[in-house]
Structure 1
Amino acid sequence: MRDPFSPFIYDLSDRVALVTGASSGLGARMAKVLAAHGAKVALAARRVDKLSELKAEIERRGGTAMAVELDVTSEAQTIAAYDAIESSLGPVDTVIANAGIAMDKGRATDNPIEDFDTTYNVNLKGVFLTAREGAKRMIEAGSRDSERGRIVMISSITSFDISPHLAFYSATKAGVSQMGRVLAHDWARMGVNVNMIAPGYIQTEINDGMFDTPAGQKMLAGWPRRRVIDSDALDGVVLYLCSDQSRQITGTVTTVDDGQALN
């Protein structure tokens, strides 16, 4: 597995990036990767103590980072977070809308509607608020001329592949993919690229212990390569979509699943 601080060929040294859900899992990994390639990174999440640890790690490696407390379901907090980042690091030109949760527990008939509301608010509304505020700022900063606005939304293979007992999560991730395509169209002439990444199952905090269960073992056995994806699988795609090289890429959904959906 790659060291997240080991550089690819991309130079992001003139970029200011916001990563939501950066306190653990994919968000923390992507923040490290962006920082290792020169971006000034704003780490956003509700768990500020976790962000402080990540900020210190990035700075020990010579990167630049700041921690921002953010509940992505709040429009007021989202606006305040962007204000704080601009004051400290400069205008945001790169956004990774990663914050997400999974609250499905068994069959949909057994899940309270409050869990659906929470999942929707974080996974879809939160992504929308993050992306919309980012796009507003990029456009105001001149993205129409520079064509350097980058927004990456984290979807999931569950958005198109049937994953039993994940009705809430799957619906919101399908919404992310389609919403992102519409936003890419809406902002295409404003120099803001919107792209989605649909990861397969990666061992993270959100699915901790799942693959040790009989159901998890059965899932593994059904995949062509019978394995969970390594945490470095998204590094190259994330860097490309955040870089100047992706100037002519917008509205795409890139699947990174090690063939898990080929079942």
Structure 2
Amino acid sequence: MFELSGKVAVITGASSGLGADAARAYAEQGAKVALLARRKDKLDNVVAEINRTRKHAIAVQCDIADESSVQAAVDEVLERYHTIDILLNDAGIAIPGSVETLTAEQWDLAMGTNVKGIFLMCKYVVPVMKKQKYGKIVNIASVNAVLADKDPRMVRHVYNASKSAVVGLTVGMAASLGQFGITVNALGPALFESEMTANTLFKQEQFLNAYNALCPASRPGRRGELNGPILFLSSDASSYVNGQLLLVDGGISIV
């Protein structure tokens, strides 16, 4: 049920971290994968690694906050693979700060990447999926779409807002696109080690100790632990799952 042979998957934010891991997981299940990100050199490294295993991967440079860049990237994928069956919107940024300290530029940057980027990718991919009457869209939200931090050192108001918006967009698209054979779901990871967190949250011993004490799993998520949920929502195993936020959080949202 998780097998993806013959499918084409597009992954944004695929140059490193969870996005790159997801691209590898898709390829292992037989999908042809198109990796999108701004950093072409890092994309090329991941693509070369995948292709060495006799899988199919291409690197496409793309700034998801720029409409012309997104349109060109989608056109490039279609020219190479002719269709798009799966879209994983993984690209995102986390900017710390409260409404009192954030600048308008920081707000626009976070919303532009985390929300506008998903909107633009879907704007150009959904018509392809509607035409073929099949599609799987998976949006990476966050547990911080439904949880927030009281500690002023951990306040991330624009991150909370943007990830909540991702969930709202997911629900809206799911309701109207289901009739075309397209499912749209979101994943809400808690703390995972990635390029974005390795040099920030994972270097704050006091924060990690508090997180581990609170989380029922007593630890952050490990690399690869998001791949199963991603494959579930991207495959026919979830054929009747639509408009859902699946929290992958070690249980931290229940305490």
Match of 2:160 among 170, 176, 182: 170
Residues 66-87 of structure 1: per-residue CA shift (max 9 Å, x gap): 0000100111111111110111
User: Could you list the runs of 4 or more consecutive aligned residues of structure 1 that deviate by over 4 angstroms after TM superposition?
Assistant: none
Please identify, of 57-66 and 240-249, the stretch whose mean Cα deviation from structure 2 is larger: 240-249
Q: CA deviation at 1:238?
A: 1.1
Aligned-CA RMSD value:
1.4
The answer to whether the Cα contact below 8 Å between 2:211 and 2:219 also exists between their aligned partners in 1 is: no
Paired position in structure 1 for 2:198: 208
Matched, 1:21 2:13: yes
Q: CA deviation at 1:235?
A: 1.5
Which structure 2 segments of 5+ residues have no match?
none
Match of 1:221 among 210, 213, 222: 213
Residue identity matched to 2:220: V
Number of aligned residues:
249
The answer to whether the Cα contact below 8 Å between 1:42 and 1:85 also exists between their aligned partners in 2 is: yes
Residue identity matched to 1:151: I
TM-score, L = length of structure 2:
0.93
Matched, 1:131 2:117: no
Please identify, of 216-225 and 127-136, the stretch whose mean Cα deviation from structure 2 is larger: 216-225
The answer to whether the Cα contact below 8 Å between 1:23 and 1:50 also exists between their aligned partners in 2 is: yes
Aligned-pair identity (%): 33
TM-score, L = length of structure 1:
0.91
2:218 and 2:203 mapped to 1: Cα distance?
A: 13
The answer to whether the Cα contact below 8 Å between 2:24 and 2:50 also exists between their aligned partners in 1 is: yes
Paired position in structure 2 for 1:80: 72
1:90 and 1:151 mapped to 2: Cα distance?
A: 18
Q: CA deviation at 1:119?
A: 0.1
Q: CA deviation at 1:170?
A: 1.1
Which structure 1 segments of 5+ residues have no match?
1-8
Residues 131-182 of structure 1: per-residue CA shift (max 9 Å, x gap): 2221111112x21xxxx31100001000001134111111100100111011
Paired position in structure 1 for 2:227: 235
2:49 and 2:238 mapped to 1: Cα distance?
A: 28
Matched, 1:153 2:139: yes
Paired position in structure 1 for 2:101: 110
Please identify, of 231-240 and 249-258, the stretch whose mean Cα deviation from structure 2 is larger: 231-240
Paired position in structure 1 for 2:177: 187
2:186 and 2:102 mapped to 1: Cα distance?
A: 28
Q: CA deviation at 1:222?
A: 2.5
Residues 73-114 of structure 1: per-residue CA shift (max 9 Å, x gap): 11111111111011112211110011100122x444222221
Paired position in structure 2 for 1:6: none
